[in-house]
Amino acid sequence: MALEIPLKYTQRPLGSAEAQALWSDMEPMPGNTRAPRAHIARVDIGGGRTLTVTILRASGHCAAVNCPLRIYEGSEMLLDGWACDIEEEHGISDDGRIMRACDQIMRTNRR
């Protein structure tokens, strides 16, 4: 992988406008003990282009160690998948084409 950029996420409540733009199809699960939240990172990949990487942290949506992950360029969703929940282990290539989440390597589907 080319030079890897560590992802730095910020937390937003799932009900915030920013999180709703990325996760509008996800509803809080009944009986949640913790408020669902979106963790959002933005990465400049050059040429005036920015990728948004977001992971949904919510009871009932995450598996044992994986949570839903999405990658966007502008309003276009490039990837809708799963990633480990250890955000310190997330990085993306400097060209935005490959993401690493713990031991998982995935293509972002960036054109």
CA 57 to each of CA 42, 93, 94, 109: distance values in angstroms, whole numbers, following the listed order: 17, 23, 25, 23
CA–CA gap between residue 43 and residue 24 (Å, rounded): 22
Cβ atoms of 69 and 54 within 8 Å: the answer is yes
* Of residues 79, 101, 98, 72, the one with CA closest to residue 88: 101
> In terms of DSSP H, where are the helices of the chain?
17-23
The predicted model gives 74-81 an average pLDDT of: 95
pLDDT digits (tens, 9 = 90+) for 17-60: 999 999 988 765 555 556 789 999 999 988 999 999 999 988 77
pLDDT range class, residue 111, cuts 50, 70, 90: confident
Local structure of residue 20 (DSSP, 8 states): H
pLDDT range class, residue 62, cuts 50, 70, 90: confident
End-to-end CA distance of the chain: 17
Q: How far is CA 30 from the centre of its chain?
A: 23
Residue spans of the domains in the chain: they are 4-107
* pTM beyond cutoff 0.85: yes
**Would you call 88 helix, strand, or coil by DSSP?**
helix
